[in-house]
Amino acid sequence: MSETIRTRYAPSPTGRMHVGNLRSALYEFLIAKHEGGAFLLRIEDTDQERYVEGAVDIIYRTLETAGLLHDEGPDKDGGFGPYVQSERMKTGIYMEYAKKLVEKGEAYYCFCDKERLESLRTEVVEGKEIMLYDKHCLGLSRAEVEEKLAAGVPFVIRQNIPNEGTTTFHDELYGDITVENAELDDMILIKSDGYPTYNFANVVDDHTMNITHVVRGNEYLSSAPKYQRLYDAFGWESPVYIHLPLITDETHKKLSKRSGHSSFEDLLEQGFLPEAVVNYIALLGWSPEENREIFTLDELIEQFDYRRISKSPAVFDYTKLKWMNGEYLKAMDPERFFELAEPYLRAVIHRDLDLKKIAAMVQTRIEIFPDIAEHIDFFEALPEYDAAMYTHKKMKTTAETSLAVLCDVLPLLEAQEDYSNDALYALLGGYVAEKGVKNGYVMWPLRTAVSGKQMTPGGATELMELLGKDESIARIKAGIAKLGGNV
């Protein structure tokens, strides 16, 4: 293809960025970047009723955090502006093109009022009740139209779709799709407030901005034949269409707000890393040639081939996303890990402990940051625990053996000044050798006493190093008391 690839992400500013929207944006970005083309941002704000204050900022923030930097957009003029539809409208572009269609007989003015429209028959198409306009105003003469316009009668402009014949369009995933024209509504192109509908504006804009590939959710498939008719009416070549399959939750229902993780911002608030979310979303419907799952954005750019997008519904698997996030955390530079983990560590630990060391202990054990709390809460305060925890079959420990060990090592630990992990390990190693027992026989009761937990991010001596001498001794004494010993 000699033509430069140009793709666009065209969100309507209606709130947070849904996972499905982010996937469209990501695929658009990857298609463009894979071929060295341009990725545009266009704000589709023609539906004033759905407009949400602040939503445009969310779009900018999300694209930036996700690393999907646009080459052209409202804040980056590439010579195809304006890039906001309400501003494009002011240039008169939509009305100008709508009038061209009226001239060609492909569109017409409609002056029907609400009452008349409400009295029209409706039809159920694809489960949705839609009104098929009866072309009443197509019968108006040119003079009648001029007269009404001059009198200021409110109007819309509708697409004129014949009742006979068929329309065919091509989608990269679904192939050629042919529909009966009789099923297509004479949709509104220009609304009574003068704004274009999304349906019309997206065609005019994609053409005038030289867009070559359009990626969007397959909820737009049913409108695509009407867009195709507009392209044909203008004599324009339509872009390559890629309608993406639905994203469902684990129960195969459409991913909705109720799932709690349907937007990018929800996921970040839950402690996910942007790069892990982007990586995961890339795989919701696309698979690389090789059997591999972890990709940086640059690697995705290199590998991405839209011909490998699947048309079967993609399941958003939260457990899998968590696993992937954990892989990113494990591979992360420890400095950066600490920086990001620090607020989560501080939320739990208020004592003067070496948080860097604690961070290093948990880095390979968590999947998302909020998991940190359950791994480290015992550092802050010894939890309530059951004496039965001292009994461990494999370590061959019981309450009695544990009590004996704790009582034996207590004076050694009281006499010890150096509480570094290595020094403590050597000290206890001496005791283990002297008694001729297994390591675990000593370490299990000690770790239980200092943590009160069955699982900890480090061994007994590592925990004692972090807790320090006084706290370690206090906890061991509490353990002895719990086991019925005297201290």
Binding site for ligand GLU (CB under 6 A): 10-12, 44, 198, 202, 216
Q: How far is the CB of 98 from ligand GLU (least distance, A)?
A: 18
Largest CA distance in the chain: 111
Residue 139 DSSP code: G
Do 169 and 176 meet the contact criterion of CB atoms below 8 Å apart? yes
Q: Which is nearer to ligand GLU, 43 or 376 (CB)?
A: 43
Alpha-carbon gap, residue 245 to 311, rounded angstroms: 5
Encoded tokens for 421? 């992990």
299 CB contacts (<8 Å, ≥6 apart)?
A: none
Q: Which of 328, 212, 297 is nearest to 22 (CA)?
A: 297
Q: Which is nearer to ligand GLU, 72 or 367 (CB)?
A: 72
Q: Which is nearer to ligand GLU, 202 or 472 (CB)?
A: 202
Alpha-carbon gap, residue 470 to 453, rounded angstroms: 19
Q: Which is nearer to ligand GLU, 257 or 330 (CB)?
A: 257
Q: Which residue has the tokens 């399959």?
A: 245
User: CB-based burial of residue 217 (10 Å sphere; 0-12 exposed, 13-18 middle, 19+ buried)?
Assistant: middle
Do 8 and 216 meet the contact criterion of CB atoms below 8 Å apart? no
Whole-angstrom Cα Rg for the chain:
33
Q: How far is the CB of 210 from ligand GLU (least distance, A)?
A: 16
Q: How far is the CB of 99 from ligand GLU (least distance, A)?
A: 23
Q: How far is the CB of 202 from ligand GLU (least distance, A)?
A: 5
Q: Which is nearer to ligand GLU, 221 or 267 (CB)?
A: 221
Q: What is the dihedral of CA 316, 320, 322, 326, to 10 degrees?
A: -150
Q: How far is the CB of 173 from ligand GLU (least distance, A)?
A: 15
Alpha-carbon gap, residue 176 to 413, rounded angstroms: 78
Alpha-carbon gap, residue 137 to 140, rounded angstroms: 5
Alpha-carbon gap, residue 175 to 169, rounded angstroms: 8
Answer yes or no: 191 catalytic: no
Do 128 and 193 meet the contact criterion of CB atoms below 8 Å apart? no
Q: Which is nearer to ligand GLU, 42 or 392 (CB)?
A: 42
Q: Which is nearer to ligand GLU, 198 or 425 (CB)?
A: 198
Residue 169's SS3 state is: strand
Q: How far is the CB of 93 from ligand GLU (least distance, A)?
A: 17
Q: How far is the CB of 64 from ligand GLU (least distance, A)?
A: 18
Do 325 and 276 meet the contact criterion of CB atoms below 8 Å apart? yes
Q: Which residue has the tokens 């993780």?
A: 261
Q: How far is the CB of 344 from ligand GLU (least distance, A)?
A: 34
Q: Which of 139, 153, 224 is nearest to 187 (CA)?
A: 224
Q: Which is nearer to ligand GLU, 262 or 448 (CB)?
A: 262
Find the catalytic residue in 257, 330, 396, 435.
257
Amino acid at 146: E
**Distance in angstroms between the alpha carbons of the first and the last residue of the chain:** 83
User: φ, ψ for residue 176 (rounded to 5)?
Assistant: -80, 130
Encoded tokens for 184? 């297509």
Q: Which of 247, 171, 240, 260 is nearest to 28 (CA)?
A: 240
Q: Which is nearer to ligand GLU, 11 or 73 (CB)?
A: 11
Residue 230's SS3 state is: helix
Q: How far is the CB of 119 from ligand GLU (least distance, A)?
A: 31
- What positions carry a catalytic annotation? 257
